[in-house]
Amino acid sequence: MRILLIGAGGVGSAAAGIAARRDFFDTFVIADYDLAKAEAAVPDDRFRSARVDASSAGAVAALCREHAITHVLNAVDPRFVMPIFEGALAAGADYLDMAMSLSVPGGVRLGDLQFEAADDWAAKGRLALVGMGVEPGLSDVFARYAADHLFSRIDEVGIRDGGNLVVEGYDFAPSFSVWTTIEECLNPPVIYEKDRGWYTTEPLSEPETFDFPGGIGPVECVHVEHEEVLLIPRWVDARKVTFKYGLGKEFIDVLKTLQKLGLHRTQPVLVNGVPVSPRDVVAACLPDPATLGSRMTGTTCAGTLVTGLGKDGAPRSVYLYHLVGNEWSMREYGSQAVVWQTAVNPVIALELLAAGTWSGVGVLGPEAFDAEPFLAKLVEYGTPWALREQ
């Protein structure tokens, strides 16, 4: 396996550090628009660095051909999904990402542009494994595991994400890309119902308090736009699928203020004659999440709440979840908890693909594959998952 990782930010650097402890690949190229960042992310002499313009499918394809790449791992923000996705296909490489193509007002949903190309990928015998981070990603694996092993009927799959991370010295410092967070939180959230299909509701709506494990406790969760709702119903028979993010009241208030002021917009505005994207300004004013690990304390939790009938036909409700403590991830890998928890999943998927344990062609989500080998690898990597009866 010859891997091209595009994006040497927090998640990309964490993925390289995790992969450095494994032996399933022959070549691992880390590429970024900023060559210095790519060079800094190289963990040992099995890795090499390169510069790439992720907005150019041609540049991505050329880099793949230069290094005879077999698998492209996309670790940049979703604005660049399509050129990387298209560049990988043009070069005849398989593809993985952790966030899917963006929605567009007027009926284009998350991932639609990628699924429209499914026949092209299948015709070339190539695989695009989309949404293979933690959420989406591990959360989808949990849904597949629940469907196969725990339930005879699923009434609802509800992703619930939360944490109690605190960053010392900052009144407000998101632990993940604020550009992506604004995108998913302020777009109309998608809900799936079997009898109705996919539909949208109001951003940050239907607040509920969910009690997270691992000492996190109760956190206010609200609907946000997320890929699982578009992925899970394609392979898992569920009557309803939702995603609620445990943002907490302060974060929700900040997002509402950004929206009210128009600072969530990506379209440039003129500032003293210079076009500037308001969202890019907000992101530039906040600290880089990849640099916050040493100031951060607490735990992050990703999980899937499944309700329905158990294998015995009795009502059942289960929360399958994965915890990462920041102290552990910083001590073991030098990466803060949220980016590490995201990065470990595509590395596991790559290892399963390298072994032939997972295989397929076309555009597939994580729930299209057997969940058990993935969850076993998660334990093998030293970061076990758990299950809580509700």
Is 371 part of any domain? no
- Check whether residue 166 and residue 297 sit in a common domain: yes
> What is 326-338 written as a DSSP string?
HHHHHHHHS--HH
User: How far, in Å, CA of 228 to CA of 158, rounded?
Assistant: 9
Q: Where are the alpha helices (DSSP H) in 20-172?
A: 35-40, 57-66, 81-91, 112-115, 118-123, 138-149
Is 346 part of any domain? no
State both tokens at 325. Answer: 């403590």
- Check whether residue 147 and residue 86 sit in a common domain: no
Is 108 part of any domain? no
Given a cut of 90, whether residue 215 has pLDDT beyond it is yes
User: How far, in Å, CA of 390 to CA of 156, rounded?
Assistant: 14
Burial classification of residue 168, based on how many CB atoms lie within 10 Å of its CB (0-12 exposed, 13-18 middle, 19 or more buried): exposed
DSSP 101: P
Nearest-5° Cα angle at 178, 174 to 182: 120
Is 341 part of any domain? no
Given a cut of 90, whether residue 328 has pLDDT beyond it is yes
- Check whether residue 171 and residue 311 sit in a common domain: yes
- Check whether residue 196 and residue 66 sit in a common domain: no
Q: What is the pLDDT of residue 116?
A: 98
The neighbouring-strand residues paired with 209 are 220
DSSP 79: G
Given a cut of 80, whether residue 175 has pLDDT beyond it is no
**Lowest-confidence segment of 153-167, 200-214, 219-233, 243-257 by average pLDDT:** 243-257
- Check whether residue 70 and residue 154 sit in a common domain: no
- Domain CATH number, residue 171: 3.30.360.10
Angle in degrees, 0-180, between the axes of helices 178-186 and 249-261, rounded to the nearest 10: 80
Is 387 part of any domain? no
Is 350 part of any domain? no
Tokens 């993925």 belong to which residue? 15
State both tokens at 247. Answer: 């943002």
Domain count, the chain: 2
Is 340 part of any domain? no
Percent of the chain whose pLDDT exceeds 90: 86
From residue 267, give the alpha-carbon distance in Å to each of 169, 225, 280. Answer: 31, 20, 10
Q: What is the pLDDT of residue 176?
A: 72
pLDDT per position as a tens digit, 297-311 = 999 999 999 999 999
- Examine the fold and report which residue of 307, 335, 363 is the final residue of a domain before the chain moves on: 335
- Examine the fold and report which residue of 312, 335, 358 is the final residue of a domain before the chain moves on: 335
Q: What is the pLDDT of residue 293?
A: 81
Instruction: Report residue 85's pLDDT band, with 50, 70 and 90 as the boundaries.
Output: very high
Instruction: Report residue 346's pLDDT band, with 50, 70 and 90 as the boundaries.
Output: very high
- Check whether residue 172 and residue 232 sit in a common domain: yes
Mean pLDDT of 208-220: 96
- Check whether residue 93 and residue 150 sit in a common domain: no
Is 364 part of any domain? no
Mean pLDDT of 39-63: 97
248 or 311, greater pLDDT:
311
- Check whether residue 88 and residue 212 sit in a common domain: no
Instruction: Report residue 295's pLDDT band, with 50, 70 and 90 as the boundaries.
Output: confident
b or e along 180-192 (b: 16 or more beta carbons within 10 Å of the residue's beta carbon)? bbbbbbbbbbbbb
Mean pLDDT of 374-384: 97
User: How far, in Å, CA of 84 to CA of 73, rounded?
Assistant: 9
Q: 93: closest CA among 115, 133, 58, 125?
A: 125
Nearest-5° Cα angle at 113, 110 to 114: 90
- Check whether residue 90 and residue 142 sit in a common domain: no
- Domain CATH number, residue 48: 3.40.50.720
- Check whether residue 175 and residue 323 sit in a common domain: yes
**Lowest-confidence segment of 99-113, 248-262, 336-350, 367-381 by average pLDDT:** 248-262
- Examine the fold and report which residue of 316, 335, 354 is the final residue of a domain before the chain moves on: 335
Residue-range definition of the domain harbouring residue 321: 138-335
- Check whether residue 144 and residue 44 sit in a common domain: no
DSSP 78: G
Mean pLDDT of 129-147: 98
> What is 251-317 written as a DSSP string?
HHHHHHHHHHHTTT--S-EEETTEEE-HHHHHHHHSPPGGG-GGGEESEEEEEEEEEEEETTSSEEE
**Averaged pLDDT of the chain:** 95
- Check whether residue 29 and residue 163 sit in a common domain: no
355 or 266, greater pLDDT:
355
